[in-house]
A and B are shown apart, each in its own frame.
Chain A
Amino acid sequence: MSASNVEGMRRHSARAGYYVSVHVMVSPQRWCIKRLCARARDGIIRVDTGMEVASVKQYSCFDILGPIMIGPSSSHTAGAARLGRVARVISGSTPKKVTFYLHGSFAATHRGHGTDKALLAGVLGMLPDDELLPCSFEEAQKLGVTYQLIPRDLGQDVHPNTVLIELESSGGEITRITGSSTGAGKIRIVALDGLPVDFSGDYHTLVTLHEDKPGVVAGVTQELARAGVNIAYMRVFRDQRGKNACMVIESDGSFPDDTRKRIETITGVRRAVVLEPV
Chain B
Amino acid sequence: MALINSARDLLELARAHNTSLGKVVALAEAESQQRALDDVVEQMAVSLEVMKSAAAQGILHPRRSVGGLIGGEASMLTELRDSGKAISGAVMSRAMAIALAVSEVNASMGKIVAAPTAGACGILPGALLAAAEALDAPDTKMLDALFAASGIGLVIAKNATLSGAEGGCQAECGAATSMAAAACVELLDGTPEQCVEAAALALKNELGLVCDPIAGLVEVPCAKRNAVKVVEAIACADMARAGIKSVIPFDEIVDAMYKIGREMPVTLKETALGGLAVTPTGSRLALEIHDAQPSVECPPPVFGENKQGAR
Which A residues have a C-beta under 8 Å from some C-beta of B?
A: 10-15, 58-75, 77-78, 97, 105, 108-109, 111-114, 116-117, 129, 131, 133-138, 140-141, 146-150, 183-185
User: What separation, in Å, do the CA atoms of A67 and B25 have in the docked complex?
Assistant: 18
The reply to whether B44 and A65 contact each other, CB–CB distance below 8 Å, is yes
Given A72-B218, A135-B297, A150 and B114 contact (CB-CB distance below 8 Å): no
Tell me which residues across on chain A come within 8 A of B146, comparing CB atoms. Answer: 65
Closest A residue to B300 using CB positions: A137
The reply to whether A65 and B153 contact each other, CB–CB distance below 8 Å, is yes
User: What separation, in Å, do the CA atoms of A48 and B187 have in the docked complex?
Assistant: 45
The reply to whether A113 and B111 contact each other, CB–CB distance below 8 Å, is no
How far apart are B97's CB and chain A's nearest CB, in angstroms?
18
Q: Mark B264-301, 1 if CB is under 8 A from A, else 0.
A: 00000000000000000000000001000010111111
The reply to whether A63 and B111 contact each other, CB–CB distance below 8 Å, is no
Apart from the given pairs A58-B3, A59-B158, A109-B215, 9 other A-B contacts in the complex at a CB distance below 8 Å: A13-B161, A58-B32, A59-B154, A62-B44, A70-B111, A77-B109, A108-B216, A112-B217, A147-B302
Given A64-B116, A67-B114, A184-B163, A114 and B310 contact (CB-CB distance below 8 Å): no
Closest A residue to B3 using CB positions: A58
Which B residues have a C-beta under 8 Å from some C-beta of A?
A: 3, 25-26, 29, 32-33, 40, 43-44, 46-47, 50, 65-67, 105-119, 121, 124, 146-147, 149-151, 153-154, 157-163, 165-166, 179, 215-219, 258, 289, 294, 296-305, 307-311
- The residue that A114 contacts in the complex, of B40, B66, B307, with Cβ under 8 A, is B66
The reply to whether B310 and A146 contact each other, CB–CB distance below 8 Å, is yes
Closest B residue to A21 using CB positions: B158
- The residue that B111 contacts in the complex, of A61, A68, A148, with Cβ under 8 A, is A68
Tell me which residues across on chain A come within 8 A of B108, comparing CB atoms. Answer: 71-72
How far apart are B276's CB and chain A's nearest CB, in angstroms?
16
The reply to whether A112 and B310 contact each other, CB–CB distance below 8 Å, is no
The reply to whether A68 and B50 contact each other, CB–CB distance below 8 Å, is yes
Binding site of A, secondary structure by majority: helix, strand, loop or mixed? mixed
User: What separation, in Å, do the CA atoms of A174 and B110 have in the docked complex?
Assistant: 33
Residue from A77, A109, A140, A150 with most neighbouring chain B CB atoms (10 Å): A109
Given A64-B153, A71-B110, A149-B301, A13 and B166 contact (CB-CB distance below 8 Å): yes
User: What separation, in Å, do the CA atoms of A84 and B43 have in the docked complex?
Assistant: 25
User: What separation, in Å, do the CA atoms of A135 and B44 have in the docked complex?
Assistant: 28
The reply to whether B299 and A10 contact each other, CB–CB distance below 8 Å, is no
How far apart are B92's CB and chain A's nearest CB, in angstroms?
23
Tell me which residues across on chain A come within 8 A of B150, comparing CB atoms. Answer: 61-62, 64-65
The reply to whether A66 and B113 contact each other, CB–CB distance below 8 Å, is yes
Given A13-B160, A14-B165, A117-B109, A73 and B218 contact (CB-CB distance below 8 Å): yes
Tell me which residues across on chain A come within 8 A of B149, comparing CB atoms. Answer: 64-65
How far apart are B253's CB and chain A's nearest CB, in angstroms?
16
User: What separation, in Å, do the CA atoms of A58 and B34 have in the docked complex?
Assistant: 11
How far apart are B126's CB and chain A's nearest CB, in angstroms?
14
